[in-house]
Structure 1
Amino acid sequence: MKSADIDVSGPVQVFQAPCLEGVPHGFLGRRGGVSGGEIAGLNCGLGANDDPALVAENRDRAVMAVAPWARLLGVYQIHSADCVMVGDKPWNEVQRPKADALVVDRPGIVLGILTADCAPVLFADRDAGVVGAAHAGWKGAFAGITDSTIAAMEARGAKRERIVAAVGPCIAQASYEVDSGFRDQFLRRDPATEAFFVAGREAHYQFDLEGFVASQLKRAGIARVEGLGLDTYADPQAFYSYRRATHLGEADYGRQISLIALPQD
């Protein structure tokens, strides 16, 4: 089904993780937005060929669904292992730092991460009053973006034995075909990562991105890790997907947003 034919009407759809109960958060899909055409729905990414005014409206709707009292803050995502800390003077949209994760230890800010098959990861240490959000595509996950986020949270008083983390909607193993060269770079660094690859057609494998990201979090000693098990590729009515748009020959694709904030004072 072509994206332009998909019905994305209705209210903004928010998926939540039990481990983050009590922390304002949400992994949002594509329903409930004002964008049209191939990116119909709640496109929150300026990288798509979309009217910036529509993107702004979509972002406002997303924030209203999760933390209406807070100011949205994001980063210029580059598939890196870089995490930034929100300081006393948050940046503006034009001056976003280049990074793939951000951490905050004060209320009034809602952190936003954009994805379209990559894995969004939301973190919280309730006792320390610190939350984080990371964009974990395979490159960032391989480079250590989750470790960088944990380290930034610890610098603000969090403890990894108290941190909980949820891996949101991303491309699932059944939908994520990779070649042998992709697999080999993982095995060269750690032969145990073979567990995240299942043989497919000749010289190709199916990669478990969610499982790999979750394993990185568990290996780091995170107290509780949950994966939502939602496949962005396989559910066009709920999610945007870069790979699906490519396979359909579409010229553009939208980005969904994942949000987390500290509770309001």
Structure 2
Amino acid sequence: MTTLKIASWNINSVRARAIIVERFLCEESPDVLCLQETKAHNDVFPADLFNRLGYTHHALNGQRMHHGVAILSRVPLQEHGAHDWQDNGEARHIGVRLPGGVRLENVYVPAGGDVPDRTVNPKFGQKLDFIGRMTRWSEGLREPTLIVGDFNVAPLECDVWSHKALLDVVSHTPIEVEALGALQSAHGWVDLGRQFIPAPQRCFTWWSYRSPDWTRNDRGRRLDHMWASPSLAPQATAHAVHEPCRAWEKPSDHVPLVVELSL
């Protein structure tokens, strides 16, 4: 058996944050890096950066200025594919098959706007519909799969700095939590974050740029996730949230997650 180390990070522009991406890869040395919100079309993606660091296998689904996902790897990737769960051509998913046969799916769920009501905020409806399409896909899934990314939902009361204050705030509303729960149940997905950091322990992956000192008020949310198929979950041997990255120079508002799988 071999151990595969897989990282996931909403980088909020891969070109703008190339320095911290390189730092993270040099310090943590994952075998595979999944990025969300790359904000770079495939033809301007900084492939040379990753090639120089040994990540020579690329699966890209980019979009100019917005969205975009990528998988960069030191091990071969096969069977690249992208689902249009947004149903409008936005670049929000890329999937591959890893050595050993496991599927790896990298997803960037829409944020959903500011008002949690689809009748007045179409973006919120698009987010719920996106999760609904993922749910129907999950219902038919029959192979061991790891799905990672920015789900833009903090499902548990302890996944946000204040459950009471955020009940009506997009990312933690009951309707979003219910939708994500239906997605999880559709395949019996195992939430690796909470498998290794059980609730109600503190576990945040995102802090707003609006906060003048994110460390002082610690108003975080757990928006980023790693879920494994029931048959794959026992092969997860470690999981970490790299919170110090939020304090790096010109940081993303999200921090990386890393899981280790014995395959």
Bin for the TM-score computed over the shorter chain = 0.3 to 0.5
Q: TM-score, normalised by structure 2?
A: 0.39
Task: Give the TM-score normalised by the residue count of structure 1.
Answer: 0.39
Of the two structures, which has the highest relative contact order with CA contacts closer than 8 Å and spacing of 6 or more? 1
